[in-house]
Structure 1
Amino acid sequence: MQISGKKIVITRPEPENQHSCLFYESLGAFPIAIPMMDICPITDPQKKAAIQSKIFDIDLYDFVIFVSKNAVREAAKWLDRCWPMLPESIIWVGIGKGTTALLQQEGIPATTNSGQTTEDLLTWSALSELAHKKVLIIRGEGGRPTLAEILEQRGAKVEYLNLYQRAPINHPFDQLSSGDSANLILITSGEGLENLQASLAKHAKMWCDKTIITPSQRVAELALRHGWQSVAQAPGADDNSMLQAIDCLQDI
């Protein structure tokens, strides 16, 4: 499908939203920025003390897995303060190429497999046999339990390090209305989709006749349950994956 001239609602949290808008502008599209979630660093003093303690003990883990770019940004600040030189025994892992690339930019020698999702990562042979291995998952509060549950089934001892919170954004009517004329809606998480649905319902809006692009089968199924009529599944949440799904559309 020719994307040039199309109006596209971008719902990513910042700063990714701005980057995505520039990406689609470069292709001739007209992006409409309506981020669905705010990313907020942990500020509670007790939680921050617990984070620092776990960062100081990070060399006790065999694998450290980052679920998102936001996890990388927050972790990099803590690691810079607590570890002038990173421990060499850890296998640092990013979920998706974008997260892994950002880790490498931060000086963290991360690796990953092909694919962009948690489910893709779980097919990686390096994570198939984990008996007696310790795994730390760095993420935001309230993330999905799927990764930890499956790694534990494979024998790992898994712990979380929550470094940020996701807060739904309550958009006023006028801002949400800027998307009424959009051809496409890009959604990058289940939480983002739920907040979009709540925002539309609050202002008595119906966008279910628009085409929505989701980053996974799980979110695609959620969109269908919410009544979206035209749902396309991308192989991941990054811009290139979303564009790949858009290119496969016949028309909108």
Structure 2
Amino acid sequence: MTVLVTRPGSEGELLCQQLADEGIQAIHHPLIRIVHNPDSVDLSPLINSSDIIIAVSHHAVTAAQNILSKTSFIWPTSVLYLGVGQKSAHILSKACKQKVHYPQVSDSEHLLKLTELKNVENKSILILRGNGGRELIRDSLLDRGAQVSYCETYHREYIPINDHNTYQTWIDKNISKVVITSLEQLEYLYSITPDEYLAWLSTRQLFVPSQRIADRAQQLGFSNVTNTQSATNQILLAALQP
């Protein structure tokens, strides 16, 4: 058994190393790269004028911190901080030195059920995120009477698979499990896979962090999908154990 890890950057590399430490073969093949966007916005006044700040990913927080590190900015104590998942909340808490609330299930739907977001009429809410993505949080909070703005602190760039031999290599390496940590990765991998390899790919066991991604994978024809309910490496590692 070999695991294909598509998670980008050092987190994907770390998961592969953790799998290797458990005697599980793994291949790291990221499908996107995270590019920080340091010159895109003057972030300090946006944060200081917000009542609530929501981080949709830990990448958004790390990139925001990179932007703010150029100044002596101190995160305000009067703001309510939230993260979509445990990982994003943990990274945001380290940055702002404040308590960060997050749902037990790491997705937008469960975030919106938090009591902290029940009464947000006339509240100013800043969402830290990358380029693109879902509009559910923004639209739902607007419906509740909040004033919502985005700050795109980073961009995702797709990494093409130019060599068709890549797929044959995966077959030869006996890839049986694939880790996909975002809907963008899933859609992209499916869209760029040549027709002759789609049947093989769709029979691999897919590990995804949310029900929304699991549902989409099944719509695309994946027959064996496991929802780990979290994208943290610790949870993924436990789910990937034989």
1:122-147 Cα deviation digits (max 9, x unpaired): 22111111111111000001121111
Identity of aligned residues (%): 26
Are residue 198 (structure 1) and residue 194 (structure 2) matched?
A: no
Are residue 7 (structure 1) and residue 2 (structure 2) matched?
A: yes
Are residue 89 (structure 1) and residue 78 (structure 2) matched?
A: yes
Map of 2:225 onto structure 1: 231
TM-score, scaled to structure 1: 0.85
Map of 1:216 onto structure 2: 210
Map of 1:65 onto structure 2: 54
In 1, Cα distance between the equivalents of 2:46 and 2:224?
Answer: 47
| Secondary structure of 1:81's aligned partner | coil
- The answer (yes or no) to whether the contact 1:208–1:227 under 8 Å persists in 2 is yes
Q: 1:57 to 1:198 in 2, by over 3 A?
A: closer
In 2, Cα distance between the equivalents of 1:79 and 1:202?
Answer: 45
| Secondary structure of 2:194's aligned partner | helix
Query: Once the 2 structures are TM-superposed, how far is the Cα of residue 110 of structure 1 from its aligned partner?
Result: 4.3
In 2, Cα distance between the equivalents of 1:82 and 1:89?
Answer: 20
Where structure 2 has 5 or more consecutive residues not aligned to the other structure, the ranges are none
Name the aligned partner's letter for residue 34 of structure 1. Answer: H
In 1, Cα distance between the equivalents of 2:139 and 2:87?
Answer: 24
- The answer (yes or no) to whether the contact 1:92–1:108 under 8 Å persists in 2 is no
**How many residues are paired up?**
237
Q: 1:112 to 1:22 in 2, by over 3 A?
A: farther
Are residue 34 (structure 1) and residue 29 (structure 2) matched?
A: yes
Where structure 1 has 5 or more consecutive residues not aligned to the other structure, the ranges are 1-5
In 1, Cα distance between the equivalents of 2:181 and 2:208?
Answer: 6
Query: Once the 2 structures are TM-superposed, how far is the Cα of residue 243 of structure 1 from its aligned partner?
Result: 4.1
Name the aligned partner's letter for residue 209 of structure 1. Answer: T
1:176-210 Cα deviation digits (max 9, x unpaired): 44422112111111110011112322774531111
- The answer (yes or no) to whether the contact 2:35–2:154 under 8 Å persists in 1 is yes
Are residue 179 (structure 1) and residue 173 (structure 2) matched?
A: no
In 2, Cα distance between the equivalents of 1:40 and 1:122?
Answer: 28
- The answer (yes or no) to whether the contact 2:46–2:126 under 8 Å persists in 1 is no
Map of 1:146 onto structure 2: 136
Q: Which moved more, 1:80-89 or 1:136-145?
A: 80-89
| Secondary structure of 1:130's aligned partner | coil
- Among 41, 44, 49, the alignment partner of 1:55 is 44
In 1, Cα distance between the equivalents of 2:194 and 2:75?
Answer: 48
In 1, Cα distance between the equivalents of 2:108 and 2:22?
Answer: 29
Q: Give the alignment's Cα RMSD to 1 decimal.
A: 2.1
Name the aligned partner's letter for residue 59 of structure 2. Answer: N
- Among 150, 165, 173, the alignment partner of 1:160 is 150
| Secondary structure of 2:75's aligned partner | coil
In 1, Cα distance between the equivalents of 2:169 and 2:93?
Answer: 37
